[in-house]
Chains A and B, each alone.
Chain A
Amino acid sequence: MKEPLDLTPLTQSIHDYLLSYLSPFWTTTVEWVIIGVLLIAFVALSVMGLVYIERKVAAFFQLRLGPNRVGKWGLLQTLADFLKLLMKEHITSKNADKFLFNLAPFIIVIASFLAIGAIPFALGLQAMDINIGLFYITAASSIGVLGILIGGWAGNNKYSLIGALRSGAQVVSYEISAVLSLLTIVVLSGSLQLSTIIESQSDGWWIFKGHLPVFIAFIMFLIAGTAETNRGPFDLAEAESELTAGFHTEYSGIKFAMFFLAEYVNLFIIAAVGATVFLGGWMPFHIGNWAAFNEVMNYIPPVIWFFFKVGFVIGLIMWFKWTFPRLRIDQLLVLEWKYLLPINLVNLIVVAFIAMMGWYF
């Protein structure tokens, strides 16, 4: 049977090559720079891609064509928009708290960059594979809400303030559900390390192996993840029909672009975590003992598998956004505290029982 393409030798050889020329201190430094540049380039490109896809998806749902003028099929539209945002004037209102106002976009972007470092893109292609990877991602992304909170406050605009308060209440509550639904898989695989979680799915993804409880956990994770990224139908923090643009009403130009960037990075992270934990990360799709079929699947490189799954989850989340009306703030909190949280707790106990009895495949 063909082994999945392992990228560890590649990274190892780069490391050895650098080490042969430089001292260990400089090797580490150069590696950091390489990883940083690669991640930033990847994020910039993937966000542009995501914005383009989002527009096309929206257009598909709304019987439109979407961007189709700049570049082939409008592919360069997002680049053009990005350049436009880059060149726009930075407007800071007179009564704003300037330090915090300018700090907020950075906090939110840095938080999402911290989290993306631990995402396993393929076998051996992961910036850091720490033993508490999943915990680390949730921890890092929990800082992001601070950016929304202080950004909404510092602009000295009442719409922003309401948006920030809504967002704070929302993200803090839904984080619990997101973490609890992820915990089901931690219980089953017995590890927080992302590479181990993926390894545990080599004979089947958890969503298939774990029966109904894991499927429920996946649904819960999708709902909580959508809410955590402030996307429709949970986009109360922005709610353009109520609060014009919510917490980023006062932002313009590149600072607005950073909020925009962070939103899509967070979307990517949520989808990547969901794909890694529930859908087997870069693991190919296998069916029982169909050897020939499995062999063919193995020929598709892990990176493609990973992005395919991430794309699937992102597609689901976009589907929500473009069909559902928005919830009201009290309904949002009722949904979390009265429905999702109890279901998740019971579900976690059920999964723990299943894991104890070994009733999964």
Chain B
Amino acid sequence: MERLIFYILALTIILFSVMTVTSRNILRAAIYLLFVLLATAGIYFLLNYNFLAAVQLTVYSGGVVVLIVFAVLLTAKIDHKLEPVNKVKSALTALLAIIGLGAILWAVFGYNFTGNGMAEGAYDVKAIGSSLLSYGQYGYVLPFEVISILLLAAMVGAIMIAKRYKND
């Protein structure tokens, strides 16, 4: 059963990934990307990583894709099509992608994965929360804070850029 669902999800991801990069309509590409992200969330659910799956849904599907779509709505017209990529370029890109895929597969199959002894099953949100904010060993408080400041800086920067153009 789980195997079947995995294959369905995997196939969806592969199919829509290809469609995302080949579609000439930018909003459709964004929607294909949404399907890829949704299927990824499905795989997380399958692995019982519920928290990660919900984060995937909120941040990527509900956040990033919405922002992309929003930006497209503000800028693109409905009959707007992206220029087709010339053949040499697409062949080169395909070649690079295949090399990359080969490298990843080689690395994955070449590494001998061993279980880390942690229990299978749902992870407690509490544990995630406390390790995110703990400053002991394996605590993530420093990266957490650094990323917060980075995001804040990005936000302030965005506001400043928007403001300056408005005042001119």
Contact = CB atoms under 8 A, between A and B. Distances in A.
A135 B27 contact: no
B94 to A, nearest CB: 25
A29 B55 CA distance: 27
Q: Which A-B residue pairs are the 5 nearest by beta carbons? A: A142-B62, A139-B57, A139-B58, A139-B54, A135-B54
B45 to A, nearest CB: 9
B93 to A, nearest CB: 25
Contacts of B62: 139, 142-143, 145-146, 175
Nearest to A134: B54
Given A135-B54, A143-B62, A150-B31, A95 B78 contact: yes
Contact of B31 (A100, A136, A190): A100
Contact of B78 (A28, A145, A156): A156
Interface in A150-207: 150, 152-154, 156, 161, 164-165, 168, 172, 175, 190-192
Interface of A is mostly: helix
Interface string B14-35: 0000000000010110010010
Interface in B74-118: 74, 78-79
A96 B124 CA distance: 46
Given A95-B79, A100-B28, A140-B57, A146 B69 contact: yes
B125 interface: yes
B50 A130 contact: yes
B6 interface: no
Interface string A83-103: 000000000000111011001
Interface string A125-137: 0000011100110
Interface size class of A (residues with CB under 8 A): 35 or more
Contacts of A153: 27, 69, 72-73, 78
Interface residues of B, number: 29
Contact of A138 (B58, B65, B72, B78): B58
A97 B28 contact: yes
Nearest to B65: A146
A192 B50 CA distance: 12
A30 to B, nearest CB: 12
Contacts of B124: 131
Interface string A105-136: 00000000000000000000000001110011
Given A100-B28, A139-B62, A142-B61, A150 B69 contact: yes
A150 B32 CA distance: 12
A149 interface: yes
Contacts of A149: 66, 69-70, 73
Interface in B25-54: 25, 27-28, 31, 34, 38, 50-51, 54
Given A161-B73, A168-B70, A146 B34 contact: yes
Which interface residue of A145, A150, A156, A175 has the most chain B CB atoms within 10 A? A150
Contacts of A97: 25, 27-28, 78
A72 B75 CA distance: 52
B11 interface: no
B26 to A, nearest CB: 11
A100 B27 contact: yes
Interface string B111-131: 000000000001011100000
A117 to B, nearest CB: 12
B158 interface: no
Given A145-B62, A192-B125, A28 B57 contact: no
A337 B116 CA distance: 45
Contacts of B50: 130-132, 136
